[in-house]
Chains A and B, each alone.
Chain A
Amino acid sequence: QVHLQQWGAGLLKPSETLSLTCGVYGGSSSGYYWSWIRQPPGKGLEWIGEVNHYEGTNYKPSLKSRVTMSVDTSLNQIFLSLSSVTAADTAVYYCARQRKYPFIQPFDIWGLGTKVTVSS
C-alpha cells in the first residue's frame, strides 16, 4: 500500500524559505505527477503546483515566482521550496499523487500534511 510521509520545518520567520519533503513508501515516484496543495487555517484547498520526473513542473501563476518543485526518483522523494514567506503562507501543506496516463485522474493518495506557521 503506497503512503506518503512528509517532513520539514514547521515554524518560519517572514522572508525565510519554506522547504518540505514528501517521501513515497510502498511504491515508486516514477510515472506519476506529484502536487503540493495547501490549506490555510479554517479555509479551503489551494493547489500550488506539480512535478513529474519526465515532464517537469507546472506552478500556480500567482505563486510561480516563489515556488520550486523537484523529484528525486532514486530516493522516491518530492521537494517543495517556497521563498520569501509571509503570514499568508501559513497553512497545512499536503503532497498528493496524480496519474495522467492512460487518462487523467484526480489526486488519489495524499500525505498527512505538514503544518507550517510563519510568524516573527
Chain B
Amino acid sequence: EILLTQSPGTLSLSPGERATLSCRASQSVSSTYLAWYQQKPGQAPRLLISDASSRATGIPDRFSGSGSGTDFTLTISRLEPEDFAVYYCHQYDRSPPYTFGQGTRLEIK
C-alpha cells in the first residue's frame, strides 16, 4: 500500500497569495497516477487535478499540479475566497488499494 503524506497540515494565507501544497509518497507512483481533490465542509470531494498535472474539466487555471515519482505539488497561484478548503492528494497507481493523503487545510489568515 502506498502511503501519502501531505504537508503542511494547515496553511494560513490571505486572498491573493500563492499557496503551495505538498504530497509525498512512500514509494514511486507509476506514470504520475496522482490526483488532487478539494473538499469544502459538508460536500463531497471535487476532482481538481489528475495525472499529477492535468486540470479537470471546469477547474480554473490558477490551480496547477506538478511532480513525479514520490514528490508532488499543488499550487494555487492567487487565492480566491472560495479556495479556502481542505485538499487531498490521491494515488490510483495501477492496482488497488488506492490511498489518500491526510489532507491540508487551507485557511484564511
**Which residues of A approach B to under 8 Å, CB–CB?**
35, 44-47, 49-50, 58, 60-61, 94, 98, 104-108, 110-113
Contact = CB atoms under 8 A, between A and B. Distances in A.
A108 B47 contact: yes
B99 interface: yes
Interface in B47-76: 47, 50, 56
Interface residues of B, number: 23
A44 B92 contact: no
A47 B88 contact: no
B44 A44 contact: no
Interface of B: 1, 33, 35, 43-47, 50, 56, 88, 90, 92, 94-103
A68 B97 CA distance: 15
A94 B98 CA distance: 15
Given A104-B33, A106-B35, A108-B56, A47 B99 contact: yes
Contacts of A45: 45, 88, 90, 100, 103
Contacts of A105: 50, 92
B87 to A, nearest CB: 11
A108 B35 CA distance: 10
Nearest to A46: B100
A35 B102 CA distance: 19
Nearest to B33: A104
B97 A110 contact: no
A64 B33 CA distance: 24
A81 B84 CA distance: 35
B103 A44 contact: yes
Contacts of B103: 44-45
Nearest to A112: B44
A106 B102 CA distance: 17
B73 to A, nearest CB: 17
Contacts of B102: 44
